[in-house]
Homo-oligomer: A and B are copies of this chain.
Amino acid sequence: MDDIRIKKLTDKDYHADILIEGLPGVGQVGKLVAEHMIEELGAEKIAEITSIFFPPQVLIDETGVARLSCNEIYVVSKDDLSIAFLVGDVQSGSPEGHYLLADAYLDVAEELGVKRIYTLGGYGTGHLQDEIQVLGAVNNSDLRETAETAGVIFSHDEPGGGIIGASGLLLSLGAERGIEGMCLMGETSGYIVDPKSAHAVLGILNVLTGLDIDDTKLEERAVEMEGIVEKIRELENAKADEELSYIG
């Protein structure tokens, strides 16, 4: 059993100019944005990545079928731009796994001919806020002006702790392979799944890529997601009440 397994779902050759990474992270901001784009653009899943560095856990889909925790590669073309996405369930549970997985993701990117990577994430501020800035980092100083023109904020002090996981490693390990990289971090409290922050990041990404992706559904999905969370809480409360009635 290989430590990292990349299962191609098709024999066709694909090309992608850019890779957009939206793996799980603070506020699920990157995940929300990338999955929204995949749905809006109708991107096609071409590969699944599983690894012994992922949590030893299977997920159950709504029909009751179990599947390994996995990450996925999607591709789509719109106008003149071909785009790959890296999304999925998990990140590594160990430092070693983080590095080796980022390296494997870059193998995929290189094979697709990717020239630029956008890594998406949330930047936890610890408090709710009305206006959401999108902070940035690049792997090449030439990119900074491009980013700032699109509205990305570069702050002297933030993120002070650097960028942890795939969003950071793809940038720096990508630079070693000559792939440009930019990380977009939407400010978020860090306490909840944050579609509002995702909305801000998508806005910047629309400018940077020239894509004009509608965000109506992103907001709807966000509302829906909050609805689900609410429903779970209600169920839990109902169960708790039930239990109390046994006792009382």
Contacts and interface: CB of A to CB of B under 8 A. Distances in A.
B66 A139 contact: yes
B99 A138 contact: no
A81 interface: no
B65 A164 contact: no
A156 B66 contact: no
A105 to B, nearest CB: 12
Given A52-B99, A52-B100, A103-B1, A139 B65 contact: yes
A248 interface: no
Q: Which of A3, A59, A64, A127 has the most CB of B within 10 A?
A: A64
A69 B127 CA distance: 28
Nearest to A64: B154
Interface stretch (A18-26, A28-36, A169-177): A169-177
A160 to B, nearest CB: 8
B172 A64 contact: no
Q: How many copies make up the complex?
A: 4
Given A57-B163, A63-B141, A99-B52, A157 B232 contact: yes
Nearest to A156: B62
A67 interface: yes
A54 interface: yes
Contacts of A127: 239, 243
A-B pairs, 9 with minimum CB distance: A56-B98, A58-B168, A52-B99, A64-B154, A68-B172, A1-B103, A59-B162, A66-B171, A52-B96
Interface of A: 1, 3, 52-60, 62-69, 92-96, 98-100, 102-103, 125, 127-128, 136-141, 144, 147, 154, 156-157, 159-165, 168-169, 171-173, 181, 183, 232, 235, 239, 243, 246
